[in-house]
Structure 1
């Protein structure tokens, strides 16, 4: 997975393996091993790659970017009633208690 990401990013920048190796201070053979899955970059190499390609280390590692978390108050501000009208204050309090109970009891 990480090798595929490195290869794709390198190709997007139209770099040879030798060019990338010089930029991040490793050998061309090391880049080849990463891209073919025969070895994986060290944490310091991942950091240099992420900095150079302007991506996160999570992206290089194939992790999905987590969705931004929304507070209960932010969620409540987006809620509309079923008929498209603003919920009453009473409705908001009930919905808020349901959301909080759900969040407190989920795995």
Structure 2
């Protein structure tokens, strides 16, 4: 799988459009389209930026390894789903959860759970 397809796979796992990813990556949408299509080589700074955005290694993006593929993204998704399921009223506050790290999302989940239990105990 080439780098463009890996970026597409990771982008779609976050349910982002090309335009949304281009904005997060701070690149032009047409450049984003050409990178994903394999029509433009990716620059080193862009490679690092995508690795950071998707919390994967540059080696994964370059197809040198499949290790750790979407491990952090799977973990993040689990906590996002827990928050959305257990605290639907919090969704409006956390529209940007996909940009959080796994640890940040877990902290948000734990904090909401703690605050809910505090409120229940004080009621």
Taking structure 1 as the reference length, the TM-score comes to 0.59
Q: Where does structure 1 differ by over 4 angstroms across 4 or more consecutive aligned residues?
A: none
CA deviations on 1:49-92 (whole Å, 9 max, x unpaired) are 000100000000000268xxxxxxxxxxxxxxxxxxxxxxxxxx
RMSD: 1.3
The alignment partner of 2:64 has SS state of coil
Distance 1:18 1:65, change over 3 A: closer
Query: 5 Å matches for 1:1-107?
Result: 1-64=2-65
Q: Which protein is bigger by CA-based radius of gyration?
A: 1
User: What is the CA–CA distance in structure 2 between the aligned matches of 1:41 and 1:23, rounded to whole Å?
Assistant: 16
SS of equivalent to 1:3:
helix
Residues matched between the structures, number: 66
Instruction: Give the TM-score, by structure 2 length.
Output: 0.51
Q: Determine the C-alpha separation between the residues in 1 that align with 2:34 and 2:57.
A: 21
Structure 2: stretches of 5+ with no match in the other structure = 68-123
